[in-house]
Amino acid sequence: MKFLSQFVILVITIMCLWSCKKEEVAKPRPNVLFISVDDMNGWGVKDLYPQVQMPNFEKLRSESYNFTKAICPSPVCVPSRAAFFSGVAPHRSGAYYNGCDPWRRSEILKTVETMPECFKRNGYTTFGRGKIFHAQMEDGREEAMFDNRPIYKGGFGPFGEEETWVGGNGKFQSVTAWEGPDSDFPDVKNTDAAIEFIQQEHENPFFCYVGLWRPHTPYTAPKQFFDLYDETKVTYPESYLENDLEDVPVEGRDLVDSLRFFGANLEERHKIFKKMIYGYLATSSFADWAVGRVMDALDNSPYAENTIVVVASDNGYHMGEKERWQKGTLWELSAYTPLLIRLPNGESVELPQTVSLMDIYPTLIEYCNLDAPKQQLDGQSLLKFINDHHAKSGNSFMSYGENYSSVYDGRYRYIRYPSGEDELYDHENDPYEWTNIVKNPENKMIIEALSKEIPTSWAPSLGGRTEANKGRVGMGLKPIENASEKNYKNEGS
């Protein structure tokens, strides 16, 4: 009888294990919802600007892992997207600038397996709409990546009338409360399409990428989002400091917009900057609304409990700090990008490790248990930080041209230019990078340690708009409009 009882227990145990194993095998691979916003800074993710209203990001933060020290691989759209979609860092591909035509000119990027290609090879249904690569692919490649048709982009519009343009050369700086239908905006059309896709029945797991165009210029948005703000109460961000270029090397100054292009005097410049901040607040709330619509659709679908959500911007954004509007510098304001990852467990944690957008690709490979691509991925999976909130991270690296380097270890940011001139900032005591402490002899060991992260070899540049402008602002010359080695068309990136 005792033997029989033991035998019965053994059989039951084996059956339970077999049943659990069967359930594990039967469990489908997780779905992926990847939403990118364009040119979003940390105002609504790190509570840096109290006036901004972004309730959907606030909700998302309350149920996500928030990487508070994430940076982009390059501080402008095209090379940043080329890097995080391919896993290949700019210093290996030569894709440093907007207009560089990376996917057709870089031999490495021609042959790599991109993120959507990897998911499709692994049996996923792939969906893409909106601002994706923001660069042309070789004929048929993008269509082969995504199963949906059309792969609608939409562009930056709609644009306001000429009298609403402010700042710079006027292009893409329209500040307008749009009173036409919401469907005039590509972001509305693309979120509508994403919602429809999520609501469909899917036999296979899906990879859904939605690329929003906002809060990028032009600062046009449906009127309801301008109505959230009182233009007369708009203030400069706390990070703004006048005359903040005095301790910056000339090659650093070359990367910024001279304020004289924003007005004849300081009073006029301040008025224009505040006008653009007003527009940026409205477009940020518009982007927040669009993200919320897609998240609501997911949460009300059968897929909510088996979907990983990634929400990120492609680069950071200056709001007049260091005499710069927009991005394209090596400082924190261009480097930092929001990065939120929501898992079905709904855990909310602020993670202070230094990470990069290039870590998204390997993270999704590990989380979804994909057969990885053959190429070397320059990022690392973030699951080790998600699983161990106190795990140590390394340094993050960003570049903006050959030998234009920015290294960040979580406290110190070290910047080096081709001439060898450099900058060092201590974020613990100087979070807005107002004081360059590179000449302090006590910081020699810090500089030596961070310098080890700078590549020893750099791929030749593929060209692009910024390259032809370097050196002009420092010499008091006006930037060349639509500048490029190959005269690529200005796409407003």
Q: Residue 226 class from Cβ within 10 Å (0-12 exposed, 13-18 middle, 19+ buried)? A: buried
Instruction: Retrieve residue 361's tokens.
Output: 């690709």
Only one residue has tokens 């050196």, namely 471
Q: What are phi and psi of 347, to 5 degrees?
A: -70, 140
| Angle of CA points 287, 308, 348, to nearest 5° | 75
Centroid of chain to Cα 455: 22
3-state secondary structure at position 408: strand
Residue 393 backbone zone (phi > 0: left; psi -120 to 50: alpha; other: beta): beta
Give CA–CA dist 179/182, Å, rounded: 8
Element (H, E) at 286: helix 266-299
The sign of the dihedral angle between the CA atoms of 8, 9, 15, 16 is positive
DSSP class of residue 4 equals: H
DSSP class of residue 226 equals: H
Q: Are 95 and 109 in contact (CB under 8 A)?
A: yes
Of the candidates 286, 270, 282, 284, the one whose C-alpha atom is nearest the C-alpha of residue 235 is 270
CA distances 437 to 247, 413, 415, 447, Å, are: 9, 10, 11, 10
Q: Residue 404 class from Cβ within 10 Å (0-12 exposed, 13-18 middle, 19+ buried)? A: buried
Q: How many other CB atoms sit within 10 Å of the CB of residue 182?
A: 16
Residues that are catalytic? 77, 134
Largest Cα–Cα separation, the chain? 99
